[in-house]
Amino acid sequence: MLKASVEELRQWLKVPEGKLLRWQDFRRKVLEKAVEQINRNVAGAGFSVRMSVQKDGHAVKWVIFRVLKTEERKTLDARLRDKEKQLDLFDVRLRPDTYEEARKVAPGWDVYILEADWREWGRRQLGWPPDKPDAAFLGFCKQRGAYGG
């Protein structure tokens, strides 16, 4: 569900200032056409939309959109979430200065090869990703640096 004020919708949809000032015109020429276009091809969009309004007295204050996903879209979203979780598990960013420090603690080693080895090693660890990835990477480099380049 998405709840937006009429003013927010006008900004998001880039309705020029001074145009479609009456709610009826804005609804008919912009909102209903957009909803109709989405609902005309539910399979292609992967969802349908229902629109309702919430009034403050006689004036429309909020527009509420309810998005109803198709089963295919729900399945795809679940797969994408699973994939994102897997990627997040391995997505560790190191600060640029960490590479400079790694060169110092592991002289003669290619820090990018060390990084690839560290990430591969990390994938097999239960506590991955580390809370302090820069320190963990430098510790890994120190161990390798102790063996010489």
Residue 78 lies in a domain: no
Residue 29's Cβ-side half-sphere holds a number of Cα atoms within 13 Å equal to 11
Overall domain count for the chain: 2
Residue 13 lies in a domain: yes
Range of the domain at 106: 89-145
Considering the domain architecture, whether residues 11 and 50 belong to the same structural domain is answered as: yes
Cβ neighbors of 87 (< 8 A, separation 6 or more) are: none
Considering the domain architecture, whether residues 13 and 66 belong to the same structural domain is answered as: yes
Q: In this structure, are residues 70 and 62 in contact, taking their beta carbons and an 8 Å threshold?
A: no
pLDDT in tens, the chain (149 residues): 999 999 999 999 999 999 999 999 999 999 999 999 999 999 988 999 999 999 999 999 999 999 999 999 999 888 887 766 665 555 688 999 999 999 999 998 999 999 999 988 888 888 778 889 999 999 999 998 776 55
Considering the domain architecture, whether residues 98 and 55 belong to the same structural domain is answered as: no
Q: How far does CA 83 lie from the centroid of its chain?
A: 12
